[in-house]
Amino acid sequence: MSLGLLIISVDYLTIYGPVRSWRLGYSLGVDPLLPPKTCTFDCVYCQLGSTRRKVDGPEDVKNYVDPQTIRKELASALKKLKQESIDYVTLSGVGEPTLYPKLKELVTNLREEVGDLKIAILTNSSLMWRNEVREALSLLDLVVAKLDAVDEETFQAINRPSPRLRISMIIDGLRRFKEEWGSDKLALQVMLIKDVNNSAEYLMKLSEIICELSPKEVQLNTVLRPPAEKWVKPLELHEMQEAASLIREYSSSNVITAYQPRQVKGELKVSVVEELELKVIDLTRRRPCRISEIASILGLRLEEAESIVKGLVADGSIVEEAYGETIFYKAKV
Ligand code: SF4
């Protein structure tokens, strides 16, 4: 979605943003692997499409940028930005960042470069069973670890992992991270897919593991961007709210959802736009709407609604559909 205000230009190979992330506020991205996407998973909801390079571990990765170059790029990018306006420097990007073959060296370099800024990673958790990966992650301020499934069948159906990976290895890796480094720097990200992992029964099983891991935060997401597989459907707003309540109740965790993003530093206006974009997507998912309806339902002036809708059409989140003389907008999911 067009949630990011691009301040850093495309001059860098490995630095992007800052982007407004619903879970991390303003985040300056570090993407250490080069395209195309290299991942241990091939998630059915991946917004990057199917995984062309599905690998088992860092040993299989040959195409990456060396840590010193990444550090230099980050130093240059940070000079162009007001550091107070960034919430996190975040390792993520086109694929799974823990696949980076020199992860500890990279994290150490970034740590030296960012000063007081916090560093996070968005990981799919698939390599946290490895000692060296957990050790490198322990040097970060926040590890946002994916956990979409708690049983093998659902794990295979959603994440389509490389052949050697099992859900038991992933949950064990998360448990060990908590035992070794505590849960203060651990957050869990859960992608909920309609009729796949959002039944009350499944959410309770998920909550048991969440309760055991006692993360600092649970970030509930759903499919708000075009997924790799067309059959994948998002939860509606009320379903997300119900899922969040259930997980809160059964795991006693702090839960945030993609529909209720975190307050970010900087202008209030920006987070309002982000919320409005999500509301337009939610609204047009239920039924195609005219621009006048969108404006009226969300209490916007016509030109404000047009501006938001135009951005969402441009980034492919919603599409225009003519019916007779009238243009309707509908979410592309
Ligand atoms: S783990 Fe992330 S990058 Fe990898 S396939 Fe899943 S969503 Fe895409």
Reported as a single tens digit per residue, the pLDDT across 189-241 is 999 999 999 999 999 999 999 999 999 999 999 988 778 999 999 999 899 99
Q: Looking at this predicted complex, what is its ipTM?
A: 1.00
127 lines ligand 1 (CB under 6 A): no
Identify which of 23, 33, 44, 46 to mutate to test ligand 1's pocket (most ligand atoms within 8 A of the CB).
46
Q: What domains are there in the chain, each with its CATH number?
A: 15-263 (3.20.20.70), 270-331 (1.10.10.10)
Q: Which residues contact 7 (CB under 8 A, 6 or more apart)?
A: 17, 18, 80, 81
pLDDT at 165 over 90: yes
48 lines ligand 1 (CB under 6 A): yes
Structure tokens at 239: 């379903």
Q: Which residues contact 232 (CB under 8 A, 6 or more apart)?
A: 44, 45, 193, 196, 223, 333
- Residue 330's beta-bridge partner residues? 319
pLDDT digits (tens, 9 = 90+) for 9-19: 456 889 987 77
Q: Which residues contact 216 (CB under 8 A, 6 or more apart)?
A: 142, 183, 184, 185, 186, 187, 254
Res 273: pLDDT: 66
pLDDT digits (tens, 9 = 90+) for 94-110: 889 999 999 999 999 99
Expressed in angstroms, the distance from the first to the final Cα of the chain is 13
Identify which of 51, 94, 147, 224 to mutate to test ligand 1's pocket (most ligand atoms within 8 A of the CB).
51
